[in-house]
Structures are given as structure tokens and as C-alpha cells.
Amino acid sequence: MNRPYTFINVAMTADGKIDTFERKGSAISSKRDKERVDKLRAAADGILVGGKTLLEEQPKLTVKSEALREERIQRGVSPNPVKVGVATVADISPDSDFIKVGPARVVIFTTSQTSIMKLKGLRALGVEVFVHESPRVDLNKMMVALKQIGVDHLMVEGGGTINFELMRLGLVDELMIFVAPMVFGGAHAPTLADGLGLSRDAAIGMKLIDVEKWEDGGVFLRYKFS
């Protein structure tokens, strides 16, 4: 396979929302789920987020547990996985936690719509920038590039638009979902998979391979793409 083994991990409410209508990165995961996610991060080679998440939430994408970071060091890899951002226009602040909080290798995929000055500024900060000469980042080419730089196991942490596009293009192997016992509502609140959507005939098929009912009231689901 000329791309990383890729899985999407998401925490969502019982009504399928991954944030409120305010889009401020509302907490959904329980304590147990946060621990599960930290282990997933520690086991991954890279963690990817899309433009809205990258620019509006400034995610750290680091391994929180000192013990898990130490385990990575013992395996001969960096304490944190490669951070991967995807944005049509990479108008990201130099002080963003995505860039500053580490240590970690930082990679951004963008397009020629990002200004030359911005690209120079990012590279001066040590960010590896891949520029695609297309209206949007070519996700197929991005996956090949990630494989080439050593990302064999890729974790995707959203948001809904990048999740949908990766699934639509057949670039995802697994989907892991923590369903929290709460409801956000909101017609414009983001969901696990947003974007343009598909007709029923074109729906993406999956196979349920695991389901767990947790004492915290949540449910964990794991799917493989067929």
C-alpha cells in the first residue's frame, strides 16, 4: 500500500455532533476516552487535522502521558507523532500550539493560494510545507507523501470535512467512535462527516468489528471500511 494505514478517531454526541454550533472545540470525551485517545496517539506515526481544526482550534496533537512519551523514546522515535495539518490557505499563527507545542515534526499541506511570505515564515519556523498547485490539497498525493516521509500509521482527528473527503476517496481503513451520553443539537453544528454528502446509492459501506458499553455512559464503536 502506497499510503499510511489510516484510521479516523472521533468523539461525538448521541445526535452525531462533534462540536456545538459555536465551534469552540467543546469537550465530549470522558476521562476513559481521553486515556484511550492518548494511547492511540502514542502508537501512531502521525496525527492529521483539517483546516478548520488547524486554524480555529490550534490543536496541540501531543501525547499527554509522560510514560507513553517515554515509551516512544525507548522505541527510538520522537516523544510525539508527526503533526499533519491540511489547509487550502495555511493562514496559521506562528504562535499556534500546533507549531509551538512539542517536540514534534510539523508538516502542513496547502495550496498555492497561501502567500509566498506565509510559506517562507512557516518554513523559517521549521515547518515542512508541501504546496499543491490545485484549488484544494490533493489528498491522494498527500497520502503518498506522508508514506514517503515515514508515516506508516496515521491517526485522523477531524474535522467533519476532512473526515468525509478521506472516506469518500477510499483513504481510510478504520473508524473509531466514542459516543457520549449527551445531545448538542444545532442544524449547523459539525458532524463526524460533513462536506457535500452522498446519495443513498453512493453511501460508504462499513463493517462493525467492535462495540463496548462503558460505565461512564458512553459507547465505543469500531468499524472497518469494506
**pLDDT tens by residue, 2-32:** 999 999 999 999 999 999 999 888 999 999 9
Q: What is residue 225's predicted lDDT score, i.e. its pLDDT?
A: 95
Tell me the helix, strand and coil percentages in the chain, rounded to 5: 30, 25, 45
Task: For residue range 27-77, list pLDDT tens digits in order.
Answer: 999 999 999 999 999 999 999 999 999 998 889 999 999 999 999 999 999
Would you call 104 exposed, middle or buried from its count of C-beta atoms within 10 A (0-12, 13-18, 19+)?
buried
Looking at residue 186, which CATH number applies to its domain? 3.40.430.10
Among 189, 182, 179, residue whose Cα is nearest residue 214: 179
CA angle 154, 160, 166 (to 5 degrees): 45
Q: Is the peptide bond before 103 cis (omega within 30 degrees of 0)?
A: yes
Structural domain range at position 56? 5-225
pLDDT digits (tens, 9 = 90+) for 184-215: 999 999 999 999 999 999 999 999 999 999 99
**What is the CB neighbour count within 10 angstroms for residue 103?**
10
The pLDDT tens digits of the residues spanning 134-187 come to 999 999 999 999 999 999 999 999 889 999 999 999 999 999 999 999 999 999
Overall domain count for the chain? 1
Distance (Å, whole) CA 89 – CA 98: 16
